[in-house]
Amino acid sequence: MTINKDASGITNSNVYLPNFDIDMHYKKYKNRRQQGQVKLEWTIKHAMRFGFVSAIVCAEVWQTSRAKTLEFLNKLVDMGLLQAAKTIRAADGRVYVLSYAGAQYARELTQIDFPFRSTSEPIHQVNQNSIMHDSILSLVLSLGIQNSNTDGTPNPLWKAYLTELEFKRLFPANDVKNVDALVLLNNNEVAAVEIEHSFKRKQQHEQSILKFKSALFGEQKLYDKVFLIVASTKIQQDTQRFYKQLLNEMPTRYDKKSKQPQLTEREAEILKEKTIIRTKFINVITDKFYS
């Protein structure tokens, strides 16, 4: 898949395209050798982009059993491309990170240079506090690309993505607020993705809305809309309630420094339209990470 043939309508296309142009669609082949090579390349690129790869995510994307999935990932460990990292923070007790050789291979596959630091223990390569969040995010982004109709016809929700790690490298300045990910939609719009897998206070949601305001209406437009991916029906209801309250209240509140409303009426209306709560992944998130 090559994205950059039609880049004119993509928000920040010159910045995002190297990452959007990495093909992350997992293709199925009848030939075992060909399928093995596709699995290998997908795994290495995935580990590069998220900082690790989870067997849970691999099994769901590849549609293989846990035993077969672990067998393949451990084969890549034996080949010196991955390292197994055990941690109680992962839903299944482990993740896999790149080795130095794996990082070199990832650079060859993507033609993107990225920082890699060897550590005495593989688990030190990742932030253990965010493993669950990042595993859910990687599953959602992958399944969005793999999405198909009930008859098996491909129907991707988005055609490419940019991870939080990649976003931070592109925008290291503190004045640009991080997002969990960006996705390139089929109409070439760019949507921010935020994973809501825990309950948040009203003030936390307010800070998110101000972040979205800055990205959508600031001098540097970062994306066109926002997808809130909720992990449960209760979190969905809670999020909807707070967003409804805040988008009605914030135009009547004034910032102490600027003396201006937190949101104009017009900004609030646009944010109501552009902030979309997605419930599609609730069942798979619950099944894979909370059962």
Question: What pLDDT is recorded for position 217?
Answer: 93
pLDDT recorded at residue 255? 80
Q: Dihedral, CA atoms, 52, 227, 208, 196, nearest 10 degrees?
A: -60
Strand partners, 226: 192, 275
pLDDT tens across 135-158, in order? 999 999 999 999 999 888 999 999
d(CA 91, CA 197): 14
Give the residue from 105, 26, 91, 9 showing the smallest Cα distance to 55: 91
The predicted structure's pLDDT at residue 227: 98
Cα→Cα distances 41→44, 76, 80, 107, 211, Å: 5, 11, 14, 11, 35
Q: Is the pLDDT of residue 2 over 60?
A: no
CB atoms inside a 10 Å sphere around CB 142: 21
In terms of phi and psi (left: phi > 0; alpha: psi -120 to 50; beta: otherwise), the region of 59 is alpha
Say if CB 117 and CB 125 are below 8 A apart: yes
Q: Can you give the pLDDT at residue 258?
A: 79
What are 6-64's pLDDT values in tens digits? 566 788 888 999 999 999 999 999 999 999 999 999 999 999 999 999 999 999 999 99
Question: 4 pLDDT exceeds 50?
Answer: no
In this prediction, residues 197-211 reach a mean pLDDT of 95
pLDDT of residue 8: 61
Q: What is the pLDDT of residue 101?
A: 97
pLDDT at 220: 84
- Residues 111-135, mean pLDDT to the nearest whole number: 92
> Residue 3: pLDDT above 60?
no
Say what the pLDDT of residue 152 is. 85
Q: Give, rounded to a whole angstrom, the gap between the first and last alpha carbons of the chain.
A: 35
Give the CA distances from residue 198 to residues 51, 132, 232, 244, 284, in Å, rounded to whole numbers and listed in that order: 22, 11, 9, 18, 16
- Dist CA 54 CA 128 (whole Å): 13
User: Using CA atoms, how far apart are residues 178 and 180, in angstroms rounded to an integer?
Assistant: 7
Q: Which residues contact 237 (CB under 8 A, 6 or more apart)?
A: none
pLDDT tens by residue, 229-271:
999 999 999 999 999 999 999 999 888 777 789 999 999 999 9
pLDDT band at 173 (very low <50, low <70, confident <90, very high): confident
Residue 112 has pLDDT above 90, yes or no: yes
Residue 148 near residue 154, CB atoms below 8 Å: yes
Report d(CA 76, CA 255) in Å as an integer. 54
- Which pLDDT score, from 0 to 100, does residue 6 have? 57
Distances (CA, A) of 43 to 73, 167, 258: 8, 20, 48
Q: For residue 161, what are its two tokens?
A: 């993505």
Span 50-106, pLDDT tens digits: 999 999 999 999 999 999 999 999 999 999 999 999 999 999 999 999 999 999 999
Whether the per-residue pLDDT at 121 is higher than 70: the answer is yes
